[in-house]
């Protein structure tokens, strides 16, 4: 089959993961990106790179892509910074379009975190030194999501004490569980079994930060080493940002890959990237889990490529918490028993804040070297399960040109928002809840409540007996009285 020379192709991918005994030997995030970039380039000259896109991370570089370009010998490359709220798939798709359009010939996507180094140095009373770019340095192109920045959360959520991400995802999890008709204990058993399998996969991943493996019983119930964070999530079910990890992907076109002499077996083909940018606060979603989003993405993959998401052989579903994995697997109709991670997931392999998906793509590219694995699907999430996306990668070129599709409007139609009020007064019904812990003790119960007038609110309780009840039995569907930001069971 003749391949269009403008077809985007992934010709290099490389991940780095460090766990230095002495944190003074560690590297800052920019250096990890550079190491990954050099690994992805292999024998190709850095000077050939003319487009570099970087994800924003915990280290706030003014233009991280420029730092990478300067250090690999591509100081004149066009630089792009994808801020928090821009999905990693969006940046990868931008790299594909940059080469597909003919405007650029070699595009590099990079991301890294060096938070383990920073935490270890701080524990020793030392400061993690990072490169500070000159005043006025800025990327050639900034990718931002103003709606994400403005509307990801709601004042009612803040007033109830929702701050840390695990509590938001635990609320989403409780809603999803109730929609499946699962009891608390059965659901917790399933979560533990799912993550025990993730831990088993991580044990075979040399880049994983937790490789010792865990039994389901080790994960399900809180211990001193694995405390409850936001019910039903223990610490080991929550992503870990405390990593020193970097990753790079190198894109070009089929025509340039031929010129560079890249062997056919070293090429991977992006087939399609589909995303939803429907931004609604968690409490303002009619269905907190937004199941239609990944369903619509999956259907669009099938319609445009002929691939059935239920049978794509290689999968990595976004795994900062269990909820996105469960929602994604169900929406994409993945048969039970399939492995849902390639790396071991973000709790065990590591969850660099805004670049894990690059690691998942790298793992998928490796797996596609197996003749039995012809295609891979990697999902992506941003925010509080706010945005969703999927990328399909293949071992061989497809029959249609690479495309990017935005299904935001379709998702907005299927997942309408509902008005949320602060400090509501009256009766309502619980539609989602969690109990947030401070150390080993429950600190507050947080509920999302449907009010009689059709609006929503979020409320809290610090009552120990109520929290004990919520931990032991399902309170979704219970009638409550709300006022002054507090709630009580009716």
- Architecture of the domain whose range is 426-489: Beta Barrel (2.40)
* pLDDT at res. 230: 98
Opening angle at CA 401, ends 325 and 297, nearest 5: 25
Task: For domain 165-239+269-414, say whether CATH 3.40.50.1000 is its number.
Answer: no
Sorted by sequence, the CB contacts under 8 Å of residue 270 that are 6+ apart come out as 8, 9, 10, 92, 93, 96, 251, 391, 392, 393, 394, 402
Residue with tokens 């894990």: 356
- Architecture of the domain whose range is 8-149+242-266: 3-Layer(aba) Sandwich (3.40)
Pairing mode, if any, of strands 314-316 and 375-382?
parallel
Dist. CA 84–CA 383, nearest whole Å: 8
Dist. CA 8–CA 2, nearest whole Å: 14
Q: pLDDT tens per residue, the chain (490 residues)?
A: 689 999 999 999 999 999 999 999 999 999 999 999 999 999 999 999 999 999 999 999 999 999 999 999 999 999 999 999 999 999 999 999 999 999 999 999 999 999 999 999 999 999 999 999 999 999 999 999 999 989 999 999 999 999 999 999 999 999 999 999 999 999 999 999 999 999 999 999 999 999 999 999 999 999 999 999 999 999 999 999 999 999 999 999 999 999 999 999 999 999 999 999 999 999 999 999 999 999 999 999 999 999 999 999 999 999 999 999 999 999 999 999 999 999 999 999 999 999 999 999 999 999 999 998 999 999 999 999 999 999 999 999 988 999 999 999 999 999 999 999 998 999 999 999 999 999 999 999 999 999 999 999 999 999 999 999 999 999 999 999 999 999 999 8
Distances (CA, A) of 347 to 205, 222, 293, 341, 377: 13, 16, 24, 11, 20
Dist. CA 396–CA 371, nearest whole Å: 11
Q: Cβ distance 392 to 331 under 8 Å?
A: no
Measuring CA to CA, which residue among 430, 444, 429, 175 is closest to residue 285?
Answer: 175
**CA count, 13 A, side-chain hemisphere, 1:** 8
* pLDDT at res. 413: 98
Opening angle at CA 359, ends 115 and 116, nearest 5: 15
Count of other CB atoms within 10 angstroms of residue 227: 15
* pLDDT at res. 369: 96
Pairing mode, if any, of strands 51-55 and 78-82?
parallel
Dist. CA 163–CA 150, nearest whole Å: 15
Q: Cβ distance 56 to 81 under 8 Å?
A: yes
210, two tokens = 């937790």
Task: Return the sign of the alpha-carbon dihedral for residues 263, 265, 267, 269.
Answer: positive
* pLDDT at res. 1: 66
The domain ranges of the chain are 8-149+242-266, 165-239+269-414, 426-489
pTM, two decimal places: 0.97
Sorted by sequence, the CB contacts under 8 Å of residue 70 that are 6+ apart come out as none
For 99-128, b where at least 16 C-beta lie within 10 A, e where not — what string?
A: bbeeebbbbbbbbbbbbbbbebbeeeeeeb
* pLDDT at res. 2: 85
Asked if the domains at 8-149+242-266 and 426-489 fall in one CATH topology, the answer is: no
Q: Cβ distance 53 to 401 under 8 Å?
A: no
């Amino acid at each position: 089959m003749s391949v269009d020379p403008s077809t985007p192709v992934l010709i290099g991918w490389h991940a780095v993961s460090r766990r230095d005994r002495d944190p003074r030997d560690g590297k800052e995030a920019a250096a990890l990106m550079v190491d990954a970039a050099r690994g992805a380039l292999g024998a190709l000259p850095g000077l050939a790179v003319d487009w570099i896109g970087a994800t924003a991370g915990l280290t706030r570089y003014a233009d991280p892509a420029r730092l990478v370009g300067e250090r690999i010998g591509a100081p004149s490359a066009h630089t792009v910074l994808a801020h928090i709220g821009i999905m990693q798939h969006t940046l990868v798709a931008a790299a594909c379009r940059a080469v597909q359009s003919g405007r650029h010939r070699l595009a590099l996507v990079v991301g890294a975190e060096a938070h383990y180094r920073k935490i270890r140095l701080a524990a020793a009373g030392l400061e993690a030194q990072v490169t500070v770019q000159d005043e006025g340095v800025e990327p050639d192109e900034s990718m931002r999501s103003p709606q994400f920045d403005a509307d990801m959360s709601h004042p009612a959520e803040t007033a109830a004490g929702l701050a840390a991400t695990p509590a938001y995802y635990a609320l989403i999890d409780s809603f999803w569980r109730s929609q499946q008709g699962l009891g608390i204990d059965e659901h917790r058993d399933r979560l533990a079994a799912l993550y025990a399998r993730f831990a088993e996969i991580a044990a075979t991943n040399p880049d994983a930060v937790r490789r010792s493996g865990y039994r389901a019983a080790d994960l399900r119930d809180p211990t001193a080493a694995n405390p409850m964070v936001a019910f039903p999530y223990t610490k080991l079910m929550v992503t870990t940002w405390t990593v020193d990890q970097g990753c790079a992907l190198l894109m070009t076109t089929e025509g340039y890959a031929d010129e560079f002499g890249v062997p056919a077996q070293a090429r991977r083909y992006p087939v399609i990237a589909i995303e939803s940018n429907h931004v609604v606060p968690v409490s303002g979603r009619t269905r907190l889990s937004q199941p239609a989003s990944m369903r619509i993405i999956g259907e669009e993959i099938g319609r445009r490529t002929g691939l059935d998401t239920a049978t794509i052989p290689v999968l990595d579903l976004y795994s900062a918490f269990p909820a996105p994995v469960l929602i994604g697997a169900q929406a994409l109709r993945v048969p039970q028993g399939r492995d849902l991670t390639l790396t071991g997931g973000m709790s065990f392999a590591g969850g660099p804040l805004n670049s894990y998906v690059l690691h998942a793509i790298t793992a998928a590219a490796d797996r596609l070297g197996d003749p039995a694995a012809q295609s891979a699907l990697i999902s992506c999430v941003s925010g509080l399960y706010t945005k969703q996306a999927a990328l399909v990668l293949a071992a061989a070129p497809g029959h249609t040109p690479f495309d990017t599709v935005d299904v935001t409007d379709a998702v907005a139609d299927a997942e309408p928002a509902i008005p949320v009020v602060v400090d509501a007064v009256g009766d309502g019904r619980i539609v989602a809840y969690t109990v947030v812990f401070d150390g080993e003790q429950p600190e507050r119960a947080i509920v999302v409540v449907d009010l009689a007038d059709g609006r929503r609110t979020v409320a809290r309780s610090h009552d120990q007996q109520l929290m004990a009840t919520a931990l032991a039995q399902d309170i979704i569907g219970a009638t409550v009285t709300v006022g002054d930001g507090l709630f009580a069971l009716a």
